Amino acid sequence: MRIASVAGAFPDHFYSQEQLIEALKGFWAKAHYNPARLERLHQNVLVGGRHLALKMEDYETLETWGQANDAWIRVAQEVGAEAVLGALGKVGLEPGDVDALFTVTVTGVATPSLDARLVNRLGLKPSIKRVPIFGLGCVAGAAGIARAADYVKAYPGQVAVLLSVELCSLTLQRRDMTIPNLIASGLFGDGGAAVVVVGEEHPLAREETASSQTTPRPAVVDSRSVFYPDTEGVMGWDISESGFKIILSAEVPQMVTGHLRQDVDAFLSHHGLSRADISAWICHPGGPKVLSAMEQALELDEDALAVTWKSLRQVGNLSSTSVLLVLEETLASCPPAPASWGVLLAMGPGFCSELVLLRF
C-alpha cells in the first residue's frame, strides 16, 4: 500500500493571531473577562495566524448550534472538495477513479454525511464505498490513513481517499470562560486535507513508478492503535444545547511522556527497528507543551519535529487535519532518502495513540 499524494485546503479567510486576539478581547470584554489574561494565553500557544471558516464579523450572527453546524456543512463541502480534487490531481486521477472514501471530523455533524454530499458535487461513482468516521479527534488523521491502508490491503487494485475537514472555529463557546475554552480559542484553526492511498496492485504503487517521482510515495508498512484504559476524561467534547464544549485536560502532556516512548519502541521492535532507524517523524502538532513532551519522550533533537512546529506556528492545531498537513509538507519540502523509514503518529480522545510505519 502506498500514499500516492496529499493535498491540504483552507477557507479563504486568514487572520493573524494579533487580529484574532483583539477581536476576542473585544467580545469577552463585554463579559467582564480579563483581556490581558486572554492575550497571554493566546501568545503562549505560539500560533502566528489561523484560517477561519467564516469572515470574522459573521461569527456574531451565529446564535445557535444549529446555525454553526449549518455553516460547517456548507464550508466543509467547499474545503473538502478542494482537498480531494487537489490530491487526485497531483497523481492524474479523476473523482471517478476513487473506490472508497473515508471521511474524518470532530467539529460538525451531518446526515447524509460529508462523504455522501461530495458524491454529486465531485462526480464520484455511485458504487463508491463510504466510511464516515466521527469522534476520533486529533488522532483521526493518522487513524484514517491506517484504515484506508487496511482497505486497499484487502482490495489491492483499488484507490482509497481519506478526507479530513476540521472547522474548529465553529465550535467556539462564547459564554464559556474556562481556561480550556480560552486556550482552544487561540490554538485551533480551520482547514482540510485529503490523502490518496493505493493498493499494491495499482499502477501508482509500482516500485519503478513510485521511486521515480520527485515527491515520494511512501509505502504504508504497518499501523498500530493503542488505547489507554480509563482516560476518557483527558480530551474530548461535552455535548450540550450550545454545541461542542471542549474538554482539554492538563494531563495531555503527561499522557505523552507516560506512554509514547514504550508504544513506539514496541511497535518498531516488531519490525526489527529502533528509534535511531527513523529518518522522518511526522507528528500531530497538539500544542507547544505536547510537542515538547513528544521530543522528550522520543529523545529527539530539536530539528526532528521542525515541520510540525512550523505547521503549528503557521496555521495552528487543526485537529485531525494537522498531521496530514505535516505529511504533505514533509513530502514536498524535505523528502526523506529512498528506502529510509518514517513514523507518522498522533494522539487523541480515548485517550489513545495511532502509529503508522512508512517506508520511503
For residue range 124-145, list pLDDT tens digits in order.
Answer: 999 999 999 999 999 999 999 9
Q: In whole numbers, what is the pLDDT of the chain averaged over residues?
A: 94
Residue 245 is predicted with a pLDDT of 87
Amino acid at 317: N
Residue 2 is predicted with a pLDDT of 97
Q: What is the C-alpha separation between 246 and 85, in angstroms, rounded? A: 32
- For the chain, the 3-state helix, strand and coil shares in percent, each to the nearest 5, are 45, 25, 30
Residue 183 is predicted with a pLDDT of 87
pLDDT, mean of residues 87-94: 98
Residue 31 is predicted with a pLDDT of 64
pLDDT, mean of residues 51-63: 94
Catalytic positions: 138
Residue 179 is predicted with a pLDDT of 85
Q: Are 98 and 146 in contact (CB under 8 A)?
A: no
Residue 143 is predicted with a pLDDT of 98
Amino acid at 296: Q
With a cut of 80, say whether residue 209 has pLDDT above it: no
Q: Are 345 and 304 in contact (CB under 8 A)?
A: no
Lowest mean pLDDT among 166-175, 176-185, 209-218, 339-348: 209-218
Amino acid at 173: Q
With a cut of 60, say whether residue 72 has pLDDT above it: yes
Q: Are 282 and 344 in contact (CB under 8 A)?
A: yes
Q: What percent of the chain has pLDDT over 90?
A: 82
Cell of 341: 523509514
With a cut of 80, say whether residue 32 has pLDDT above it: no
Cβ contacts of residue 134 below 8 Å, gap of 6+? 104, 105, 106, 109
Three-class secondary structure of residue 34 per DSSP: coil
Residue bearing the bigger pLDDT, 202 or 207: 202
Task: Decide: pTM greater than 0.85.
Answer: yes
Three-class secondary structure of residue 273 per DSSP: coil
pLDDT, mean of residues 162-187: 90
Residue bearing the bigger pLDDT, 172 or 3: 3
Amino acid at 62: L
Q: What is the pLDDT of residues 290-300, one digit of tens each?
A: 999 999 999 99
Question: pLDDT band for position 30 (50/70/90)?
Answer: low
Q: What is the pLDDT of residues 224-283, one digit of tens each?
A: 999 999 999 999 998 888 889 888 888 999 999 999 999 999 999 999 999 999 999 999
Q: What is the C-alpha separation between 349 and 284, in angstroms, rounded? A: 13
Q: What is the C-alpha separation between 301 and 306, in angstroms, rounded? A: 10
Question: pLDDT band for position 215 (50/70/90)?
Answer: confident
Strand spans (E) along 232-351: 235-240, 243-248, 278-283, 341-348
Residue 33 is predicted with a pLDDT of 65
Q: Are 123 and 205 in contact (CB under 8 A)?
A: no
Lowest mean pLDDT among 15-29, 60-74, 340-354: 15-29
Catalogue all structural domains in the chain, each as residue range(s) with its CATH number: 2-205 (3.40.47.10), 217-359 (3.40.47.10)
Q: What is the pLDDT of residues 303-347, one digit of tens each?
A: 999 999 999 999 999 999 999 999 999 999 999 999 999 999 999
Residue 156 is predicted with a pLDDT of 97
Cell of 166: 476540521
